[in-house]
Amino acid sequence: MNVFISSLEDPIVSLRFAHSVQDVASVLGLDPARFFYVVQNADNGSYYKQFQIPKKKGGKRDISKPVRGLALAQDRLAAILAQKYSPKQYVKGYVKGESFLTNAQYHERQRWILNIDIKDFFPSINFARVRGLFMSSYFGFNDRVATILARITTFNDGLPQGATTSPIIANLIAHNLDKKLLSIAISERLRYSRYADDITFSSNQKTVPASVIRSWEPLHGERSVELGNAIREAFRSARFEVNEEKTRILFSSERQEVTGLIVNRKANVWRGDVALLRMKLHSARVHGAQNAAKLWLKTTDNPDHFWRHIEGWLAYISQVRGRDDPVTAKLCKMAVLSGLKGAEWIEKYADMVREFDVFLSHATEDKPTVVKLKRKLESLGIKVFFDVDSIQWGDSIVEKINHGLLKSSFFVPFLSDTFSAKGWTNKELNSAIAMNINRKGRILPICEANFSIADNYPLLNETLYQRWPEDPALEAAFVTSVADQILKIVQQEKSKPNDLSD
């Protein structure tokens, strides 16, 4: 039996035994004749679609996307390399479970942050370096196999941005640089991470070690940075260059940015980016997507390109800020109102925008009592979800109740023996508890005079609640007092600044 087929369970071993294009094709599960043609023509451009995409912060990124047989060969090889590669904890780019967000979170709340960019990261990793990697002891392939693999993974004598093999090869090549920089970080008690070509050191120490930065000027504002000899030697010996224009030292008194996120407190999107997105959506709503594209994208007036650009930004913000975020919900609603269609997740987020201040949950038998509070709240300008007003004939009760829970800022259940005996009101309460488990102060219970919360709803026993008076003469004053307290809570909620960093 052919050794290359019999040892497919360990393709790395199979490639160590390989000697020809046919052998490599066998390991990759490809037709030998077709693969031979791919290898012969991998670098002449016929197997790449080349184009540019806009960068988030301006400028263009060159993309060389492999097609047909080369794309398939790279995908198969990338899967094999992934079995061999075990990324270190400090590598945050192109690693499962890591992202630009986890990279930024690692450097939250630090006294100072140093950002260093590797110049021409993918283009600088040329054919010779890739071939050398495959011949190194890490893989142990012979020179013929290493040459074949280097031919199908490089283009224009560099790693192509768009090939599935490029990220993992880049991380492997950058390992020597990582080791040297990590050694500096450990000796100086600093934090270190690398996300693709973005390198970050950070620390809560008051001083910046001379081995890392020799000097910077001016002391405040935009400044030039002179890196320490240890950092420069690490780059030189690992055969990479520093992009001097992107080297920055940032202190806690100014806006600290790591992989595009502000990290002075918790990793978050920059307020200016959100404001800019609002301006783009306003342009689309007032002047149409075609004119908005012409204004903001510069290179095209295609509405589809504009909406893809918007959807990309919304996906980015939602990834950073998490699910059920009101800022993301409002931006998604703006996008839908401005004309974005077909993106189900955006439409779902848009539907999360809160329309009611208070959801009054009650049993039907308690309605004559609860309606008094409802009227008082509305007289104070508070928007109330109340089933009689909010659910119309023909509506799905289940959908409307869930809609009300989702779109209300506070949940006010009127707890009574009748309430606790009903299945439906209990479902409302359980849903509210589930939705607000991490958001304290969202559930504001009111209970009947003789109702025991401890016996019926132990989960709410530690929640501050109000008790409806048994004496009707005290009812008016109680309703006024409770309504005033709810108004204060609602106003405080509305006046809170969101957590977007300046």
The per-residue pLDDT for range 170-222, each reduced to its tens digit, is 999 999 999 999 999 999 999 999 999 999 999 999 999 999 999 998 877 78
pLDDT band, very low/low/confident/very high, at 319 (cuts 50, 70, 90):
very high
Q: What is the pLDDT of residues 392-425, one digit of tens each?
A: 544 444 455 556 666 788 888 888 888 888 766 6
Q: What's the whole-number mean pLDDT along residues 78-90?
A: 95
Instruction: Evaluate whether 501 touches 271 at the Cβ level (below 8 Å).
Output: yes
| Cα-Cα-Cα-Cα dihedral sign, residues 468, 474, 476, 481 | negative
Percent of the chain with pLDDT over 90: 67
pLDDT score of 5: 46
DSSP class of residue 498 equals: P
Is it true that the peptide bond before 368 is cis, omega within 30 degrees of 0? no
Q: What is the pLDDT of residues 26-65, one digit of tens each?
A: 999 999 999 999 999 999 999 999 988 777 666 678 889 9
pLDDT score of 439: 55
Q: What's the whole-number mean pLDDT along residues 270-299?
A: 93
Could you tell me which of 415, 400, 473, 463 has the C-alpha nearest to residue 436? 463
Could you tell me which of 191, 38, 165 has the C-alpha nearest to residue 103? 191
pLDDT score of 498: 62
Give, for 65, the enclosing helix (H) or strand (E): strand 60-66
Helix (H, G, I), strand (E, B) or coil at 312: helix
Strand 213-217 to strand 224-227: parallel, antiparallel, or no bridges (unpaired)?
antiparallel
pLDDT score of 85: 95
Amino acid at 36: F
pLDDT score of 437: 45
Cβ count within 10 A of residue 74: 23
Q: Which domains does the chain have, with CATH numbers?
A: 1-84+139-157 (no CATH), 87-122+161-268 (3.30.70), 271-352 (no CATH), 356-495 (3.40.50.10140)
pLDDT score of 364: 83
The token duo for 59 is: 């400028």
Query: Look-up: residue for tokens 């790279």?
Result: 74
Backbone phi and psi for residue 26, each to the nearest 5 degrees, phi listed first: -60, -45
pLDDT score of 359: 85
DSSP string, 327-354: HHHHHHHHHHHHT--S-HHHHHHHTTS-
Cβ count within 10 A of residue 364: 13
Of 335-344, 356-365, 419-428, 483-492, minimum mean pLDDT range: 419-428
pLDDT score of 348: 84
| Cα-Cα-Cα-Cα dihedral sign, residues 255, 260, 266, 271 | positive
pTM tops 0.85, yes or no: no
Could you tell me which of 124, 185, 182, 132 has the C-alpha nearest to residue 156? 124
pLDDT, mean over the chain: 88
Of 24-33, 289-298, 428-437, minimum mean pLDDT range: 428-437
